[in-house]
């Protein structure tokens, strides 16, 4: 114990104000990893741009080079917020419309998926009955649901949301169920010794133990949602980044498509990160032991 006593002192902020030999250390170790992280992707992007410029500059090129994209779609790139009424809006508004659909569909899928997953994780009967059905349904491609959903809802908006819902719910259900079934025997033993049962056992042991699995399901689900919404919007029309791309294709506006694709990729990446971050926050420590 005695040898542990100085430890708290060393971790307090006071340690930062110690002499130069201490202060010098963080400077080097902090900047280096950032550079090491940023430099390679930056170099690769520059190299790819150069390659693309070269490949698309020939007389027979079918796609515009980056320089042409910039001159063609400059307004689109620099001002995502303009709104000229109708469908003539900046990319921000299209992305916002798509994100709203995803938010609604994914939120419904998350709630329903976690509840169903918890149920089939705790009940052997439900597991045996429902699992085979889910395994088949989850392989149905998102767009295959669209005709049925249009027939059922008779409107574009709820149909699109339903497609998101039905696409993203399967990984959430399946991962949640696996998480509940995989609560380690050690934790069950601890709960048994302190006589933690029923709802308390569920809230204090099962849910936290399954949380990493649940977040894995949510992360897969949000990725699928974003894939599905772009495809669905191409078919249903209206404001939305999917229809924007389809519209640009119909007016042969390839530069706009390229800009839109870049945004779609960036937003998809951001969604993935946000869910991963939420997961890391909610499951602090759980995976590390």
> What is the smallest separation between the CB atom of 7 and another protein, expressed in angstroms?
8
Longest dimension (CA), the chain: 78
Nearer to another protein, 154 or 284 (CB): 284
CA 250 to chain centre: 29
Q: How many residues does the chain have?
A: 289
Nearer to another protein, 21 or 186 (CB): 186
> What is the smallest separation between the CB atom of 98 and another protein, expressed in angstroms?
35
> What is the smallest separation between the CB atom of 217 and another protein, expressed in angstroms?
18
Alpha-carbon gap, residue 236 to 268, rounded angstroms: 20
Nearer to another protein, 255 or 283 (CB): 283
Residue 28 DSSP SS3: helix
Burial 159-192 (b: 16+ CB within 10 A, else e): bbbbbbbbbbbbbbbbbbbbbbeebeeebeeebe
Pick left, alpha or beta for residue 235 (phi over 0 → left; psi -120 to 50 → alpha; otherwise beta): alpha
Nearer to another protein, 191 or 254 (CB): 191
> What is the smallest separation between the CB atom of 12 and another protein, expressed in angstroms?
12
Which residue ranges make up the site for another protein (CB under 8 A)? 1, 4, 7-8, 186-187, 189-190, 192-196, 200, 204-205, 208-209, 211, 283-286, 288-289
> What is the smallest separation between the CB atom of 125 and another protein, expressed in angstroms?
22
Nearer to another protein, 25 or 192 (CB): 192
């Amino acid at each position: 114990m005695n040898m542990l006593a100085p430890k708290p002192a060393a971790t307090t902020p006071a340690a930062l104000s110690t002499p130069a030999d201490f202060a010098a250390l963080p400077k080097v170790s902090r900047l280096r990893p950032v550079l090491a992280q940023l430099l390679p992707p930056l170099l690769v992007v520059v190299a790819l741009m150069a390659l693309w410029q070269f490949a698309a500059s020939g007389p027979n090129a079918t796609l515009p080079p980056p320089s042409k994209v910039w001159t063609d779609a400059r307004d689109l790139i620099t001002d995502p917020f303009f709104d000229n009424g109708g469908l003539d809006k900046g990319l921000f508004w299209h992305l916002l419309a798509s994100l709203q659909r995803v938010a609604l569909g994914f939120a419904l899928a998350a709630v329903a998926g976690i509840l169903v997953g918890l149920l089939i994780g705790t009940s052997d009967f439900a597991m045996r009955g429902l699992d085979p059905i889910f395994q088949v349904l989850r392989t149905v491609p998102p767009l295959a649901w669209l005709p049925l959903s249009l027939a059922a809802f008779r409107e574009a908006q709820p149909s699109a949301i339903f497609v998101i819902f039905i696409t993203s719910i399967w990984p959430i259900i399946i991962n949640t169920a696996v998480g509940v079934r995989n609560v380690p025997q050690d934790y069950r033993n601890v709960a048994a010794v302190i006589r933690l049962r029923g709802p308390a056992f569920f809230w204090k042991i099962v849910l936290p133990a399954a949380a990493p699995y649940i977040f894995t399901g949510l992360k897969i689900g949000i990725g699928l949602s974003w894939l599905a919404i772009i495809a669905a919007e191409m078919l249903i029309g209206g404001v939305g980044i999917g229809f924007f791309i389809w519209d640009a294709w119909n007016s042969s506006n390839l530069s706009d498509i390229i800009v839109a694709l870049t945004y779609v990729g960036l937003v998809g990446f951001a969604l993935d990160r946000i869910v991963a971050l939420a997961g890391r926050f909610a499951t602090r420590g759980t995976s590390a032991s």
